[in-house]
């Protein structure tokens, strides 16, 4: 049984073009750890979507990816405005992104649904005006 490893990233809110960098690094780390392509892809897409969300809505935040014997746990924590209606936000196509965000090709309302689709569990803790923490797991043991 190996010790868990956690990778920490500061996701900066001020720079759109750097969004997605953390998921790219995680992708490389998971390859080095020898995970199969489908596991890597699920983690990197879920994380990418989460990262973009943090940049769009919360001016960035913290991303922590922990690799355990059983699964890969992604925790995305921000100090943003919080999600008023989680059920609504989970609907495909629902988006509160403003026009300039959409013009960049983001904000199609697929972020949260995709995160749920690609992970085994997903938990949203959110409080208006305080922030949101999303915890996702991808199991890698068959």
Partner 1 sequence: MQNYKHSVSLDLSKCKGCTACLKRCPTEAIRVRDGKATINSARCIDCGECIRICSHRAKRALHDSLDEMADFKYTVALPAPALYGQFDNMTSIDYIIDGLYKMGFDDVFEVARAAEMVSAYTRMYLNMPGIKKPVISSACPVITRIIGMNFPFLVENLMPILPPIEVAAKLAREKALSEHPELSSEDVGIFFISPCPGKVSYVKNGFAGDKNNVDRVVSIRDVYFRLIDVMKHDEYPEKSSESGMIGIGWASTGGESSSVFNDRYLAADGVENCMRVLEQIDNEDFTDLDFIELNACSGGCVGGAMTVANAYIAQARLQSLKRYLPVSPNRPTDREIPVGFFTDEKVEYDAGFSLSSDRAEAMRMMGEIESITKCLPGIDCGSCGAPTCMAFAEDIVKNETNIDECTIIMRELFHEVLDQRRKKELSDKIVPPNKT
Question: Which residues of the chain form contacts with partner 1 (CB under 8 A)?
Answer: 1-3, 5, 7, 20, 23-24, 28-29, 31-34, 37, 41, 44-45, 48, 67, 105, 114
At its nearest, how many Å lie between partner 1 and the CB of residue 84? 26
Nearer to partner 1, 111 or 126 (CB): 111
Nearer to partner 1, 39 or 125 (CB): 39
Q: What CA–CA distances, in Å, run from 15 to 19, 43, 74, 81, 129?
A: 7, 22, 22, 19, 22
Angle at CA of residue 48, ends 94 and 71, nearest 5°: 110
At its nearest, how many Å lie between partner 1 and the CB of residue 85? 25
């Amino acid at each position: 049984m190996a010790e868990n490893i956690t990778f920490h990233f500061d996701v900066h809110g001020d720079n759109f073009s750097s969004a997605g960098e953390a998921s790219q690094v995680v992708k490389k780390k998971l390859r080095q750890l020898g995970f199969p392509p489908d596991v890597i892809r699920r983690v990197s897409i879920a994380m990418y979507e989460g990262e973009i969300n943090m940049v769009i809505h919360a001016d960035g935040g913290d991303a922590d990816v922990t690799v355990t014997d059983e699964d890969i746990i992604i925790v995305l924590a921000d100090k943003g405005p919080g999600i008023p209606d989680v059920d609504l936000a989970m609907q495909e196509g629902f988006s509160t992104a403003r026009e300039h965000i959409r013009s960049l090709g983001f904000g199609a309302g697929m972020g949260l649904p995709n995160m749920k689709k690609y992970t085994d569990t997903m938990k949203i803790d959110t409080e208006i005006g305080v922030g949101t923490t999303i915890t996702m797991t991808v199991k890698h043991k068959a």
